[in-house]
């Protein structure tokens, strides 16, 4: 059995994350082993899931990776869990295109034959909520909306009106309701989230949510719906056993702290599958670059919020610069790209020096400068992709890059807004704003580990 549920919303802001965390916390308190998943490319919500469940939450994205691989990630991630809770993204049917379900929570739910619990904000309606639920039921006959949770009810009486209408007109059960002021406000989802979670500072918030959900939502019925599901059939494609021909593992240093914490778990897993040993370090806390490394991965995060502290790590930045100059195979995505630039200027107008590997400056903006999925084509042969080879990823940032002098771009990226060249290329460096999903092209981790092995061999020969 693979008990599972999708927690979906009629739109963003209806309380998906709060209720998902509450359900996880309440079921965890009952002694169940819960596995979290997040539809789409988001990094922050999985951090909450991981903190609450004690298991690493994983992204399920049916646009960035093939459908069979979505199933494989789910089956692999769910192993040993009593229940998998899959949090949706945006509105239930929102995905890559307004013309189909590709990349949406709806598509994930049908791929996994998972019952859907639909969360509806009823703050300004009563019987009309039944029309909304009915519309979600009828738009795609392949989805299985199994229950409804009402959020932001004005009173128990108000919730009862909406419940009566839904159960009469839609033929499904309302599993509970939360009043407008029932749940505590979700903590700031930006600054210091990761260290606050790791230090246990949000445990009180999680426990409070779990208690509210235990009291207000019919968890027994929720479990019955989750258990009444067929097994997900999946081939081991992405993680099929690799024949180990390398005498030694390569060591890849991965930056992990409040400034750098956005990584798809499958990216790290695939590097390990290809023979890499992952060694974590914290640039923010002044940790040295790990010894005897053969590769460097600088992920996304919020370096701009810690620019003052990072700018003081001159010894580390000099070490990184020298290692890269020596040929260290390096991937820097978004926050890591910013860290390798010459400087970061904050929205307050303060400029801080950074590593200086990439010829350009970063300036923070007051609004999003880019968001969305990206089709990526390599303009050069790199440590990840051969020239012309493709992959998929996602872009999300509030900063702009201002080039200084000559620089070769590494990718051509295509999104809804058009096509442009992006990122910076050096023979041993791939750096850009796009977060690549290695499962979109498994050649990437394989090629990177091979590049790391070649670098290791050259270093050994020198010594």
Known catalytic residues are 334
**Cβ contact 413:376 at 8 Å:** yes
**Whole-angstrom Cα distance, residue 307 to residue 302?**
9
In angstroms, the CA 446 to CA 449 distance is 5
Tokens 């994350």 sit at which residue? 17
* Of 98, 112, 105, the residue nearest 9 (C-alpha): 105
Nearest of 459, 463, 458, 414 to residue 434 by alpha carbon: 414
Question: 411 and 236 in contact (C-beta within 8 Å)?
Answer: no
- Name 320's Cβ contacts closer than 8 Å, sequence gap at least 6: 289, 296, 340, 355, 357
Strand ranges (E), 347-398: 351-353, 360-364, 370-378, 390-397
C-alpha to C-alpha distance for 18 and 5, rounded to whole angstroms: 16
Evaluate whether 363 touches 342 at the Cβ level (below 8 Å).
Answer: no
Give the integer Cα–Cα distance in Å for 5 and 208.
22
The β-bridge relationship of strands 330-333 and 429-432 is parallel
For residue 381, what are the CA distances in angstroms to 157, 329, 377? 64, 13, 10
Provide the 8-state DSSP code for 51.
H
Contacts of 151 (CB under 8 A, 6+ apart): 14, 15, 19, 119, 120, 121, 122, 177, 178
List beta partners, residue 460: none
């Amino acid at each position: 059995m693979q008990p599972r549920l999708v927690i979906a919303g009629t739109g963003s802001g209806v309380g998906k994350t709060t209720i998902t965390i509450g359900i996880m916390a309440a079921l965890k308190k009952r002694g169940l082993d819960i596995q979290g998943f997040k539809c789409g490319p988001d990094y922050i919500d999985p951090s909450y899931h991981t903190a609450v469940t004690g298991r690493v939450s994983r992204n399920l994205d049916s646009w960035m990776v093939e459908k069979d691989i979505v199933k494989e990630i789910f089956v692999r991630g769910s192993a040993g869990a009593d229940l998998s809770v899959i949090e949706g993204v945006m509105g239930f049917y929102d995905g890559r295109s307004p013309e189909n379900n590709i990349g949406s929570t709806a598509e994930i739910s049908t791929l996994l034959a998972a019952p859907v619990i639909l969360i509806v904000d009823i703050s300004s309606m009563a019987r009309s909520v039944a029309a909304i639920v009915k519309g979600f039921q009828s738009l795609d006959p392949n989805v299985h909306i199994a229950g409804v949770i009402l959020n932001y009810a004005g009173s128990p009486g108000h919730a009862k009106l909406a419940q009566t209408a839904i159960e009469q007109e839609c033929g499904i059960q309302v599993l509970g309701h939360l009043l407008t002021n029932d749940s505590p406000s979700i903590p700031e989802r930006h600054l210091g989230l990761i260290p606050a979670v790791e230090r246990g500072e949000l445990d009180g918030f999680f426990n409070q949510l779990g208690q509210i959900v235990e009291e207000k939502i019919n968890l027994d019925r929720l479990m019955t719906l989750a258990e009444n599901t067929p097994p997900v059939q999946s081939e081991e494609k992405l993680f099929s056993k690799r024949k180990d021909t390398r005498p030694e593992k390569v060591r890849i240093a991965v930056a992990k702290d409040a400034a750098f914490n956005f990584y798809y778990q499958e990216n790290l897993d695939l590097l390990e599958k290809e023979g890499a040993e992952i060694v974590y370090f914290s640039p923010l806390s002044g940790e040295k670059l790990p010894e005897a490394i053969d590769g460097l991965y600088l992920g996304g995060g919020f370096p701009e919020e810690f620019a003052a502290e990072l700018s003081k790590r001159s010894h580390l930045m000099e070490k990184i610069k020298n290692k890269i100059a020596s040929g260290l195979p390096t991937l820097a995505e978004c926050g890591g790209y910013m860290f390798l630039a010459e400087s970061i200027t904050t929205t307050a107008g303060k400029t801080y020096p950074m590593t200086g590997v990439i010829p350009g400056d970063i300036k923070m903006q007051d609004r999003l400068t880019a968001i969305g999925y990206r089709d990526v084509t390599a303009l050069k042969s790199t440590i990840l992709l051969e020239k012309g080879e493709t992959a998929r990823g996602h872009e999300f940032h509030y900063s702009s890059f201002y080039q200084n002098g000559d620089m070769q771009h590494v990718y051509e990226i295509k999104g809804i807004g058009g096509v442009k060249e992006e990122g910076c290329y050096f023979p041993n460096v791939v750096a850009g704003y796009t977060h690549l999903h290695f499962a979109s092209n498994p050649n990437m981790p394989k090629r990177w580990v091979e590049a790391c092995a070649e670098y290791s061999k050259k270093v050994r020969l020198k010594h």
